[in-house]
Amino acid sequence: MKKFLKILCMFIIIFLLIPASGDTVSDDIYNIKHTAAVMGNAGHFYIPSVDIDVPLYKYTVDGHQKVVDAENSAVYCESFNGGCGYIADHAFQGFDKIKNAKIGCYAYIRTENEIKIYQCVEIAYGRNEIYDIATYGEQYLTKIYWADFCCYTCNDKNGVEITMLFFREKNS
């Protein structure tokens, strides 16, 4: 009986480790390639596990808020004053879905020429300050070099308290 229980436990563990259909990078890439997406001037951003699917528009000094305020668009800043870049949008426009993401989930940035794959390496909470974005642990985006970008959205109506997902490009 002990041997049977050990074998049963092994099968359960193996079953739990096998990703569900549609839950792999290759499935995500296939779906992204075969979806007619509106492309922003910085591409299109996806986090399939939480149903994020939005055009990206480059950060400009005078247009940042306009991009975030527009429906169906997120702002993208490749590098924030030399540190980690970011992707941001309003929670009330659906970006609050990132709050359901888990460490290890995949994100994709699609451009006309390629699809880059990223993996979430940290989830943090912080604040949107006037000249920088910081975690409660006082890590400022301008000083973060261990992640390629931070995806964030607000937790309050004042736009100060934020949820942050940090992503690093996955090597192919």
Could you give the CA distance from residue 120 to residue 152 in angstroms, rounded to a whole number? Answer: 12
Region 41-45: mean pLDDT is 93
| CATH class for the region spanning 20-169 | mainly beta
Q: 100-131 b/e with 16+ CB inside 10 Å = b?
A: ebeeebbbbbbeeeeeebbbbebebebbbeee
Specify the amino acid at residue 80: F
| DSSP one-letter code for 73 | -
Q: What pairs with residue 161 in β-bridges? A: 127
Residue 12 or 70, more confident: 70
Residue 67 or 122, more confident: 122
Tens digits of per-residue pLDDT, 64-83? 777 877 788 999 988 877 88
User: With bands split at pLDDT 50, 70 and 90, how would you rate the model's confidence at 63?
Assistant: low
Determine the pLDDT at residue 54: 94
Taking the model in full, what pTM does it have? Answer: 0.82
Contacts for 154 with CB less than 8 Å, ≥ 6 apart: 90, 91, 128, 160, 161, 162
Residue 4 has pLDDT above 70, yes or no: no
Residue 16 or 124, more confident: 124
Region 151-156: mean pLDDT is 92
Determine the pLDDT at residue 19: 44
Determine the pLDDT at residue 35: 85
Would you kindly state where each structural domain of the chain is located, as residue ranges? Answer: 20-169
Q: What pairs with residue 31 in β-bridges? A: none
Determine the pLDDT at residue 103: 95
| Lowest-confidence pick of 69-73, 94-98, 108-112, 152-156 | 69-73
Residue 5 has pLDDT above 80, yes or no: no
Residue 23 or 71, more confident: 71
